[in-house]
Amino acid sequence: MGDGEVLVAPALPDLFEDRGRRSALAAVLAHKAIVIGAAIVLVITLMAVCAPWLTPIDPTAIAPLERLKGPSLAHPFGTDMLGRDLFSRVLYGARISLFVGFVIAALSSIIGLVIGLVAGYWRRLDGIVMRLMDALMSIPGILLAIAFMAISGGSMGNVILAITIVEVPRVARLVRGTVLSVRRQAYVEAAVASGSRSLTILLSHILPNTIAPIIIQATYVCASAMLLESVLSFIGAGIPPSIPTWGNIMADGRSIWQLKPSMIFLPALFLSLTILAINLVGDGLRDLLDPRQAGNG
């Protein structure tokens, strides 16, 4: 928890410059991990979006006669203790998980970017802002989210808010580190010396350098947010149980898991696969953008 800068990717390689744009795309497409990861995310996203066409059964429809059935043609994943179709529930659950993950990744990136830019550029604010971020990061993330949820009550908005509060300091710290290292570059000092306005320097010279690290970080935030959401739902402090999410399906399955382990393992499999795919994309992008760490295959 030492003070100081985070290790960040060195100033951007050619990848994101105009003349390099074509080769950047080629480099991304040539990276196996990114392609595989992105393909899996795409398939699961399509599944989530097309859920109403992939299954005719309402994921919340209760059918007492069909309780705890094994897999069949009508119910490929079987049914839960209320006779609800697990295949539908898993498909519709993907919508919530992905939505929560993407929204939190976007929100945390934007808020973290603003805080990091401000702290890194206006040194007077740095002390206060970063001490606050450090304090937030000293509270273990899951507990912070649990405490927040326990008081504000279960709703999708509160889940998003709680997890965003957990993730923002990590992004802010990363952006601040990047700003600090870019500030020392000759071209920024030249811009300062020539009397450019702070806002111009910040937006046109410093901001572009933070984009690559933020994109990489956003993938990790997305993965971590989906994981946190499922944990919150699983222990009963997340999205209301009436909404089918992967975490809620597993929470339903907790009491009968020895009888019907698939209620835990099926959503867990989809969740793990999605998170793995997002992590693959993140690791791949880091390989490409940060040569220091290259060689992860």
Partner 1 sequence: MGTYIVKRILATIPVMALVAVVVFALLYFAPGDPAEVIAGDHASPETIAAIRQSLGLDQPLPIRFAAWAGQLLQGDLGVSVFSNIPVVTLILQRLEPTMSLMVLTTLIAVVVAVPMGVFAASRSGTWLDRALMGGAVLGFSVPVFATSYLLAWIFSMKLQWLPVQGYAPLANGVGTWFVHLILPSLALASVYIALIARITRTAVLEVLHQDYIRTAKAKGQGHRTILFVHALKNAAVPILTVIGLGVALLIGGAVVTESVFAIPGIGMLTVDAILQRDYPVIQGVVLFFSFMYVLVNLLVDIAYTFFDPRIEY
**Can residue 204 be called a binding residue for partner 1 (CB under 8 A)?**
no
**Can residue 63 be called a binding residue for partner 1 (CB under 8 A)?**
no
**Can residue 240 be called a binding residue for partner 1 (CB under 8 A)?**
no
Binding string, 72-111, against partner 1, x = CB under 8 A?
----------------------------------------
**Can residue 235 be called a binding residue for partner 1 (CB under 8 A)?**
yes
Give the phi and the psi of residue 79 in degrees, each rounded to 5: -130, 160
Beta-carbon-side half-sphere exposure of residue 73 (alpha carbons within 13 Å): 0
Give the phi and the psi of residue 272 in degrees, each rounded to 5: -60, -45
Q: How far is the CB of 186 from partner 1 (least distance, A)?
A: 27
Q: How far is the CB of 136 from partner 1 (least distance, A)?
A: 6
**Can residue 237 be called a binding residue for partner 1 (CB under 8 A)?**
yes
Count of residues touching partner 1 (by CB under 8 A): 53
Q: Cα(272)–Cα(282) distance, rounded to whole angstroms?
A: 15
In the region spanning residues 127 to 186, those forming contacts with partner 1, defined by CB under 8 A, are: 131-132, 134-136, 138-144, 146-153, 158, 161, 165
Q: Which stretch binds partner 1 (CB under 8 A): 49-57, 172-180, 185-193, 289-297?
A: 289-297
Q: How far is the CB of 138 from partner 1 (least distance, A)?
A: 5
Q: How far is the CB of 192 from partner 1 (least distance, A)?
A: 30
Q: Which stretch binds partner 1 (CB under 8 A): 46-54, 65-73, 197-205, 254-262?
A: 254-262
Give 235: exposed, middle or buried? Use CB within 10 Å, 0-12, 13-18, 19+: middle
**Can residue 230 be called a binding residue for partner 1 (CB under 8 A)?**
yes
Give the nearer residue to partner 1 in terms of CB position, either 214 or 228: 228
Give the nearer residue to partner 1 in terms of CB position, either 24 or 165: 165
Question: What's the per-residue H, E or C state across the chain?
Answer: CCCCCCCCCCCCCHHHCHHHHHHHHHHHHHCHHHHHHHHHHHHHHHHHHCHHHHCCCCCCCCCHHHCCCCCCCCCCCCECCCCCEHHHHHHHHHHHHHHHHHHHHHHHHHHHHHHHHHHHHCHHHHHHHHHHHHHHHCCCHHHHHHHHHHHHCCCHHHHHHHHHHHHHHHHHHHHHHHHHHHHCCHHHHHHHHCCCCHHHHHHHHHHHHHHHHHHHHHHHHHHHHHHHHHHHHHCCCCCCCCCCCHHHHHHHHHHHCCCCCHHHHHHHHHHHHHHHHHHHHHHHHHHHHCHHHCCCC
Q: How far is the CB of 260 from partner 1 (least distance, A)?
A: 11
Q: Which stretch binds partner 1 (CB under 8 A): 64-72, 78-86, 95-103, 288-296?
A: 288-296
Q: How far is the CB of 206 from partner 1 (least distance, A)?
A: 27
Question: Which residues contact partner 1 (rule: CB under 8 A)?
Answer: 1-2, 131-132, 134-136, 138-144, 146-153, 158, 161, 165, 223, 227, 230-231, 234-237, 250, 254, 257-258, 261, 264-265, 268-269, 271-272, 275-276, 279-280, 283, 293, 295-297
